[in-house]
A and B are shown apart, each in its own frame.
Chain A
Amino acid sequence: MIKHDVVIIGAGLAGMRAAIEVSKELDVAVLTKVYPSRSHSGAAQGGIAASLGNSESDSWEEHMYDTIKGGDFLNDQDAVEEYVKAAPGIIYELEHMGCVFSRTADGKIAQRSFGGHSKPRACFSADRTGHAILHALHEQLMKQSETIKIYNEWNMHSLVTEGNRCNGVVVSNVKTGAVEVIQAKAVIFCTGGYGRIFKITTNAFASTADGVMAAFRAGIPIEDAEFVQFHPSGLYRQGILFSEAARGEGGYLLNGKGDRFMEQYAPSRMELAPRDIVSRAEQSEIDAGRGVNGKDFIHLDLRHLGEARIMERLPQIRQLGIDFTSVDCVKDPLPIQPTAHYSMGGIPTDKFSQVVMDAQGTKMEGFFAAGECACVSVHGGNRLGTNSLLDATVFGRRAGLSALEYARSADFAKVNEAQEKTKVLKSFEDIFQRDGSESYNDIRNEMKDVMMEKCGIFRDEEKLKACIENIKSLHLRFKKGKVTDKGKLFNTEIYEILELENMLEMAQIIATSALARKESRGGHFRSDYDKRDDKNFLKHTLVHGSMEELELKYKPVVITKHKPTERTY
């Protein structure tokens, strides 16, 4: 049995930031299914928020208010306060580690505007901010290669728990197929988002809900799963992201008639209104037949910015347009549509990244989570752009600190290695033994279609009920799937199948939460209940139970400084 004081699953911003913290004192391992530098944090383009005030005066109070208003008042305000206060420090620390940032004329970290933020607050590195931070953190891990053990291309399957205590994880080596148990005093999950459930998404193939579902199977509820953010600028048909920075720098959104339609929806913020509002505006235009050429896309127009500014601030976006649609945004507008982007919900944690098991805050001892897989909740019903890289680093660091503190005084608990291993080996064997005729590819495609159409930007009771039925029947078909690769060596097919199962179950949890929330708030919009309903729904959803019987519970929102008011822009 492998043994580490602390084991971290995931090597994006959250996981690596946590590792740096733990390694100051204890033996720590980071396990990731892709090389750390391939984690999806690297795809983040636009920026990371902090009230540095480098180009205009700013304060944590304003950052806090913008975040809460952006989240449609579902955020836990005590957590938001600590988070925005920690922001400047965490940015300076990244800079000290060597992270490359774009600069102001006087050499400070440059900052730009972003949707929903009232001040230019996004620190950035051209249009590859996530990449810059991911590599800066990876550099720190390489610097500490003697003290931080990295398991590259290993997959986490399940948590080892006993009662309210987490004792390790069951994992496998992708290269050899060998299943191992890692015994640990503390486990931190930093497994990222699950946008891959939807047909059009900005997320990587690795963003598949593995961590969230492993937690659920260990008895942890899932919080606010119905809140999925659709980003307004996904490349038509592909979903690949064109950063909001394109609008932050002054880009226009035009419908098929060439009108800047945001005038009708958010006259004061126009293109820089929060994402949920812009995405709904786009979808409404498309649904009303005002897409470009009547199709399901609209235009993002950057031409008036000029080549020089585009090359200085948005070079990667220009390249993406050229590579993936043969459109050069210097000369032509880009075809875009809303795309599933960010999961506000996830594994419930307190503000110290400690995973909690119920509305009362009962701890799962030795289990922590941070980044997109976790729900603190600092984003409430809708995350503002640039707030999630900040979430991953601030709470990654906190998770590291909390795990360190816990593991310092905890002992290794007994783990029944054979039994834990057998469970996972059996799940492999189950799949290998299936002799069905169903195509996993068809099931995956149908799931993505169903979730996009019936649990997407505009939802209602009828669609959601149909969605749940569809997903359940896909799950049945899943059990009759057909596998072709039965080898042990680098078998990517078997991992894709396991990921699909996680996504199917997560899809059902999302739709079930969405059906029960009979109101519209942030990223969750019900055409049949199109107003926010604070009286009945100013509360977090917690889905408990098992896939056979999902059970919905709720917990109150923590409100400290800002009473909910109507959200207009």
Chain B
Amino acid sequence: MATFRIKRYNPEIKPEPYYEDFQLEIPEGATLLDCINQIKWTLDGTLTYRMSCRSAICGSCGMKANGHAQLACQKQATSLLDKNDTITVEPLGNMEPVKDLVVDFEPFWDKVNKIKPYLQTDDSPPKKERTQSPDQFHLIDDASTCIMCGNCYSDCNVLEVDDKFLGPAALAKAQRFVGDSRDERTLERVTELSEPGGIWDCTHCGECVERCPKPAQPFYRIKEVMAVALEQGVHNNNGARHALSFVKSVKSSGRLNENMIPVESMGYFNIKGLMELIPIGLRMLLKRKIPPIIHKSIEDVKDVKRIFKELGQ
């Protein structure tokens, strides 16, 4: 018998969320969604969540299992059991809960909308298709697999402290157009994406890659947009300065001095900018997301310097 410890919330009845345990024998081959359906249909009809395709393509059934965002329909339930034969199920994070496992997706979609998620071209189209080589197709193939499930958004560390951040899904969607050989607004796009809330606010934690059920893998897409931004000469912003200071840090010490980077990327004399960092820094400290204060050179710093030299930096 497995225990499903589900976070319940129904503000019509009770203002505070609470946990409720359901016991269920997991049928052979059942996914987490199969089990939750079983609970709804046989134990408690009030249990509320979204689902539709049950084949990992519609993006409806994102929820947290044991603290991490997952597609309930994609995970075999038994693979999620902890040592007490329990699975803890909660709604996605970084979005407001509506009822039980249903959260409000509107801010998520608003951000997707902000990146101008559609092809922009100047000329009127040819009579037949626009051509695109298989290689060019591959540049956008991964990003185009995103099913807008919000898993990455739920577990992104930056969104936890800064809800102005566009977030991984919107930025992955942006790469879908930045990388599209048919789109004619690349410079405009990367300039906008380099503004506060954009690509440079990502802390490279890689959490979104872990959480993404598809090849979309937002962080890799964000890096691709960063590369295009630098290539296009969009340096005049904190993020690009951050990247350049990253290079400097690694070059001089062989590792990343993360404590210096926020300061450098704001510019040493940008007092106001520095002040703005303090609350975020404090919140990160509280959530234990700040790197250790002491920063040492790694042993083979010579090698790192050599590599940079060879790369002509």
Task: Give the interface of A toward B (CB within 8 A).
Answer: 34-35, 37-40, 42-43, 52, 91-92, 95-98, 100-109, 125-126, 128, 131-132, 135, 139-140, 142-143, 145, 175, 204-206, 237-238, 240-241, 315-316, 319-320, 323-326, 439-441, 483-485, 487-493
Q: Digit string of B49-64 for contact with A (CB within 8 Å is 1, else 0)?
A: 1111111111110000
Q: Which of A38, A143, A485, A488 contacts B60 (CB 8 A)?
A: A38
A237 to B136, CA, bound (A): 39
Which of B40-48, B277-285, B298-306 binds A? B40-48
Q: Which of A132, A206, A325, A490 contacts B98 (CB 8 A)?
A: A490
Whether A484 contacts B44 in the complex (CB less than 8 A), given A131-B57, A132-B144, comes out as: yes
Other A-B pairs, 8, CB within 8 Å; known A108-B128, A139-B118, A320-B55? A40-B52, A42-B147, A98-B182, A105-B134, A108-B129, A125-B144, A323-B76, A487-B46
Chain B neighbourhood of A488, CB < 8 A: 12
Chain B neighbourhood of A98, CB < 8 A: 118-119, 177, 180, 182-183
Main secondary structure of the interface of B (DSSP, over half): loop
- In the complex, what's the smallest C-beta–C-beta distance from A506 to chain B, in angstroms? 19
The answer to whether A143 and B118 touch across the interface, beta carbons within 8 angstroms, is yes
Q: Does B113 contact A (CB under 8 A)?
A: yes
- In the complex, what's the smallest C-beta–C-beta distance from A227 to chain B, in angstroms? 24
Chain B neighbourhood of A490, CB < 8 A: 48, 98-99, 102
The answer to whether B119 and A204 touch across the interface, beta carbons within 8 angstroms, is no
Whether A103 contacts B118 in the complex (CB less than 8 A), given A241-B55, A490-B99, comes out as: no
Chain A neighbourhood of B215, CB < 8 A: 315
**A/B interface sample: 24 pairs, CB < 8 A:** A37-B59, A38-B52, A38-B53, A42-B58, A92-B129, A101-B129, A101-B137, A103-B134, A103-B137, A108-B128, A125-B144, A139-B118, A139-B119, A316-B57, A320-B55, A323-B56, A323-B74, A326-B76, A439-B42, A441-B41, A484-B44, A484-B45, A487-B10, A489-B12
A320 to B71, CA, bound (A): 13
A275 to B46, CA, bound (A): 40
The answer to whether A40 and B58 touch across the interface, beta carbons within 8 angstroms, is yes
The answer to whether A204 and B74 touch across the interface, beta carbons within 8 angstroms, is no
Q: Which of A34, A102, A107, A125 contacts B58 (CB 8 A)?
A: A34
Summed over the interface, the residue pairs from A and B with CB atoms below 8 Å come to a total of: 159
A108 to B182, CA, bound (A): 13
Chain B neighbourhood of A319, CB < 8 A: 56
A316 to B57, CA, bound (A): 10
Chain A neighbourhood of B176, CB < 8 A: 100
Chain A neighbourhood of B56, CB < 8 A: 319-320, 323
Most chain B CB neighbours (cut-off 10 Å) among A38, A39, A320:
A38
Nearest opposing residue in chain A for B11, CB measure: A489
Chain A neighbourhood of B29, CB < 8 A: 237-238, 324-325
Whether A96 contacts B130 in the complex (CB less than 8 A), given A43-B53, A487-B10, A489-B98, comes out as: yes
A143 to B121, CA, bound (A): 13
The answer to whether B113 and A142 touch across the interface, beta carbons within 8 angstroms, is yes
Q: What are the 6 A-B residue pairs with the smallest beta carbon separation, nearest first?
A: A98-B119, A107-B131, A484-B45, A441-B41, A96-B125, A139-B118
The answer to whether B55 and A240 touch across the interface, beta carbons within 8 angstroms, is yes
- In the complex, what's the smallest C-beta–C-beta distance from A55 to chain B, in angstroms? 13
Chain B neighbourhood of A487, CB < 8 A: 10, 12-13, 46
A100 to B142, CA, bound (A): 11
Q: Does B66 contact A (CB under 8 A)?
A: no
The answer to whether A493 and B46 touch across the interface, beta carbons within 8 angstroms, is yes
